[in-house]
């Protein structure tokens, strides 16, 4: 009975989404307050019904209701509780429910935090979000209901894919989806602005914090996915240029461009058309990602089960969304003014260059991802496009971008003198060049690529430190309404602090990637009990193998002692697990993580002579990559919390003018 109520809740949510999508837009067009007000209550109602559906599906998992097909194919009587809870989004239908739930959540958040927006703007934003929700909830109801019955019910479920039985499943999909779905908000703001014909600095200021939060979640989601794959798949890789990973990287690239373009639109009133275009593009790429992953057009480790009707639904949906958005853009876009003017060498130019590089990088990833699909569809043969291709086109684009990232934020708006910038930063340039050239020697032998990576990483870090000091010295003393004891950093504004934190994270990541690619070491060995293998100066000794009984698997667990010369490090316990429910072996790697290196052992098959196949890795600076992701996430969140977004929308600035707001408002008025 409950699953039928779940389906009913989905249908009700669909109807409410339809109301949310149609009535407020109608109201905004006619200036009808009552119709506009429907948006908020419909958004809340939609969210509540989606949440009910989600709870019912969770309940079906917890009670092992195998008469629900989705539960039967993704759970099992022996599945541990935490994976029963996260198995809810372990497959196509359930993850789609999570997606829709999060979209509802974002709608509710917009209705809470944007109360002070003009009524017609809020109505249009919620309306667009409602229409997007119609597409996703409809997709679920018509092609992929998680409440489909399986009669007669099997005695036991087929079990969750063992690869997904990991804490990674608990955190990775929810964060990633929060990011994906979050980009609906800037899209909705952009469409609302096109509809209302008000594409101004205020619009950019409203959508900036939302974009930053969505971007932060997407960054964290991708980072968590990579972190998970790194230890779960057992071969030490952390980015595979797999189509599904590319599907998340593409909106990240354009989303990053959007974040930067919004900054210019808010502060200088320029690039409006381009910013709108990026908002549309980013959302379209999240749809493309959903299509690639869920339609079965590609083969990937992460792809969901194949069903042609889903593919055609998503393709149709994507065509409608992109078609309508672009027509609207073509109709309304050109009416938007040019905005403030700026010189050849200025912050604006730097940000435009950033956008050009990011968008071209995204296009290259897109090209490589769909090229094999297109050739195949045209009957021109089957080819593969893999890591060697992506590395050779992506890397040359990232090098100039990182160089730009170093000095870009120090260049003045409107006009600056390149020679002066060079003079300001010449010591930093010299420092990062010299130290960058020497640093690789501390890790291994020198190579040009490693030296370039470390130079760029240092260059970014050093310019950030320099810029923060300069600004702290230049920023005027604490304004009276700011508590006198507030830290000096507060004066910089959270927006600035968040930006520099994110940039610093990027620099850490550049260094991490450089070293782990350039200097990782890996050994494939046959180990007998008691034998030692030396990798990168560390001795790994297989002490023994024992049989371990897990909650729903049996494992052979190796005990590997690790010595750094004389010093003993924590013992590693790599496992080879067998899940009887799916007759599937799984490798569980064991790691010793550190700031400057990870040691990584994974266990392979046993051999007839009593030895074991094992892989032993030395991964220098691996954690700098994850640390970089974390800093970028925090940077995005902190920037979104900047008080000027709240003050401006709450219109509290009238009573107490915030100097930051005034300073930023001034240039946006020009042009």
Which span (47-55, 358-366, 481-489, 500-508) binds other proteins, by CB under 8 A? 358-366
Decide: is 528 part of the binding site for other proteins (CB under 8 A). yes
- Which secondary structure element, helix H or strand E, spans residue 423, and what is its range? helix 418-443
Q: What is the DSSP letter of 164?
A: G
CA distance 306 to 297: 8
Query: CB–CB of 595/625 below 8 Å?
Result: no
Q: Which is nearer to other proteins, 483 or 583 (CB)?
A: 583
Decide: is 29 part of the binding site for other proteins (CB under 8 A). no
Of residues 287-316, which lie at the interface with other proteins (CB under 8 A)?
Answer: 299-301, 303
Decide: is 385 part of the binding site for other proteins (CB under 8 A). yes
Decide: is 359 part of the binding site for other proteins (CB under 8 A). yes
Which span (87-95, 98-106, 234-242, 454-462) binds other proteins, by CB under 8 A? 234-242
Decide: is 360 part of the binding site for other proteins (CB under 8 A). yes
Can you tell me whether residue 378 is helix, strand or coil? Answer: coil
Alpha-helical (H) ranges within 183-307 are 184-196, 201-232, 243-268, 272-294
Query: CB–CB of 668/258 below 8 Å?
Result: no
Decide: is 34 part of the binding site for other proteins (CB under 8 A). no
Q: How far is the CB of 446 from other proteins (least distance, A)?
A: 9
Out of 152, 197, 382, 610, point to the residue binding other proteins (CB under 8 A).
382
CA distance 88 to 77: 15
Alpha-helical (H) ranges within 63-183 are 69-74, 81-86, 92-113, 119-143, 167-182
HSE, side-chain direction, 13 A CA sphere, residue 504: 19
Q: Which of 649, 639, 664, 644 is nearest to 212 (CA)?
A: 639
Q: What is the DSSP string of 346-380?
A: SHHHHHHHHHHHHHHHHHHHHHHHHHHHHHHHTTS
Of residues 327-346, which lie at the interface with other proteins (CB under 8 A)?
Answer: 341-344
Decide: is 532 part of the binding site for other proteins (CB under 8 A). yes
What's the alpha-carbon Rg for the chain, to the nearest Å?
27
Tokens of 495: 């927006």
How deeply is 278 buried, as exposed, middle or buried, from its count of CB atoms within 10 A (0-12, 13-18, 19+)? buried
User: Taking CB under 8 A as the rule, which mask of x and - marks residues 569-608 in contact with other proteins?
Assistant: -----------------------------------xx---
Q: How far is the CB of 392 from other proteins (least distance, A)?
A: 8
Out of 519, 553, 579, 626, point to the residue binding other proteins (CB under 8 A).
519
Can you tell me whether residue 460 is helix, strand or coil? Answer: helix
Q: How far is the CB of 164 from other proteins (least distance, A)?
A: 14
Out of 55, 233, 328, 641, point to the residue binding other proteins (CB under 8 A).
233
Which span (6-14, 82-90, 379-387, 561-569) binds other proteins, by CB under 8 A? 379-387
Of residues 85-114, which lie at the interface with other proteins (CB under 8 A)?
Answer: none
Query: CB–CB of 75/45 below 8 Å?
Result: no
Q: Which is nearer to other proteins, 387 or 659 (CB)?
A: 387
Of residues 433-462, which lie at the interface with other proteins (CB under 8 A)?
Answer: 444-445, 447
Decide: is 371 part of the binding site for other proteins (CB under 8 A). yes
Decide: is 368 part of the binding site for other proteins (CB under 8 A). yes
Question: What is the separation of C-alpha 47 from the centre of its chain, rounded to a whole number of angstroms?
Answer: 23
Query: Residue 575 forms beta bridges with which residues?
Result: 557, 588
CA distance 518 to 474: 41
Q: How far is the CB of 545 from other proteins (least distance, A)?
A: 14
Q: Which residues bind other proteins (CB under 8 A)?
A: 233, 235, 237, 240, 242-243, 299-301, 303, 341-344, 349, 352-353, 356-357, 359-360, 363-364, 367-368, 371, 375, 380-389, 393, 397, 444-445, 447, 519, 521, 523-528, 531-534, 542, 604-605, 611, 613
């Amino acid at each position: 009975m409950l699953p039928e109520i779940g389906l009913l809740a989905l249908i009700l949510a669909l109807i409410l989404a339809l109301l949310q999508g149609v009535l407020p837009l109608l109201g905004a067009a006619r200036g009808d307050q009552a119709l506009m007000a429907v948006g908020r209550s419909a958004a809340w109602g939609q969210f509540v019904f989606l949440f009910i559906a989600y709870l019912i599906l969770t309940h079906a998992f917890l009670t092992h209701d195998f008469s629900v097909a989705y539960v039967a194919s993704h759970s099992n009587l022996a599945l541990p509780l935490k994976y029963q809870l996260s198995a809810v989004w372990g497959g196509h239908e359930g993850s789609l429910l999570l997606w829709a739930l999060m979209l509802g959540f974002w709608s509710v958040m917009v209705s809470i935090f944007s109360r002070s927006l003009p009524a017609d703007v809020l109505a249009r934003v919620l309306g667009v979000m409602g229409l997007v929700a119609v597409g996703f909830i409809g997709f679920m109801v018509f092609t992929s209901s998680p409440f489909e019955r399986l009669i007669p019910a099997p005695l036991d479920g087929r079990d969750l894919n063992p690869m997904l039985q990991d804490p990674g499943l608990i955190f990775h999909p929810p964060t990633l989806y929060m990011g994906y779905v979050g980009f609906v908000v800037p899209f909705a703001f952009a469409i609302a602005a096109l509809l209302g014909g008000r594409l101004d600095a205020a619009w950019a200021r409203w959508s900036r914090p939302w974009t930053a939060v969505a971007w932060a979640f997407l960054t964290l989601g991708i980072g968590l996915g990579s972190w998970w794959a790194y230890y779960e798949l057992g071969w030490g890789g952390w980015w595979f240029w797999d189509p599904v990973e590319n599907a998340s990287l593409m909106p990240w690239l354009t989303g990053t461009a959007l974040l930067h373009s919004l900054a210019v639109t808010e502060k200088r009133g320029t690039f409006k058309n381009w910013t709108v275009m990026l908002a549309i593009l980013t959302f379209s790429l999240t749809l493309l990602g959903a299509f690639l992953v869920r339609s079965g057009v590609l083969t990937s480790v992460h792809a969901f089960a194949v069903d042609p009707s889903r593919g055609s639904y998503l393709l149709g949906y994507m065509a409608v969304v992109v078609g309508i958005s672009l027509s609207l853009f073509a109709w309304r876009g050109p009416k938007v003014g040019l905005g403030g003017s700026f010189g050849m060498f200025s912050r604006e130019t730097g940000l435009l260059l950033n956008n050009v590089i990011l968008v071209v990088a995204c296009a290259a990833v897109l090209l490589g991802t769909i090229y094999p699909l297109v050739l195949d569809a045209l009957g021109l043969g089957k080819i593969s496009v893999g890591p060697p291709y992506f590395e050779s086109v992506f890397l040359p684009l990232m090098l100039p971008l990182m160089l730009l990232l170093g000095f870009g934020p120090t260049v003045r708006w409107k006009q600056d003198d390149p020679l002066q910038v060079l003079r300001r930063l010449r010591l930093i340039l010299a420092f990062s060049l010299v130290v960058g050239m020497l640093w690789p020697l501390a890790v291994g032998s020198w190579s040009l690529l490693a030296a370039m990576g470390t130079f760029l990483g240092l260059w970014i870090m050093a310019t950030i430190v320099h810029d923060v000091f300069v600004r702290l010295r230049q920023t005027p003393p604490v304004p009276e309404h700011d508590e006198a004891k507030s830290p000096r950093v507060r004066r910089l504004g959270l927006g600035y602090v968040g930006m520099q934190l994110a940039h610093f994270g990027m620099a850490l990541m550049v260094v991490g990637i450089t070293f782990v690619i350039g200097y990782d070491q890996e050994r494939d060995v046959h180990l007998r009990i008691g034998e030692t293998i030396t990798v990168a100066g560390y001795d790994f000794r297989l002490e023994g193998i024992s049989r371990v009984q897990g909650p729903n698997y049996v494992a052979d667990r190796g005990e590997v002692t690790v010595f750094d010369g004389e010093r003993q490090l924590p013992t590693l316990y790599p496992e080879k697990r067998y899940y009887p429910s799916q007759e599937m072996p799984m490798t569980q790697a064991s790691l010793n993580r550190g700031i400057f290196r990870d040691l990584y052992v994974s266990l392979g098959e046993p051999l007839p002579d009593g030895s074991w196949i094992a892989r032993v890795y030395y991964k220098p600076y691996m954690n700098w990559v994850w640390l970089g992701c974390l800093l970028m996430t925090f940077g995005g969140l902190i920037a979104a919390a900047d008080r000027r977004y709240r003050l401006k929308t709450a219109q509290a600035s009238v009573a107490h003018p915030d100097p930051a707001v005034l300073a930023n408002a001034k240039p946006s008025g020009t042009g």
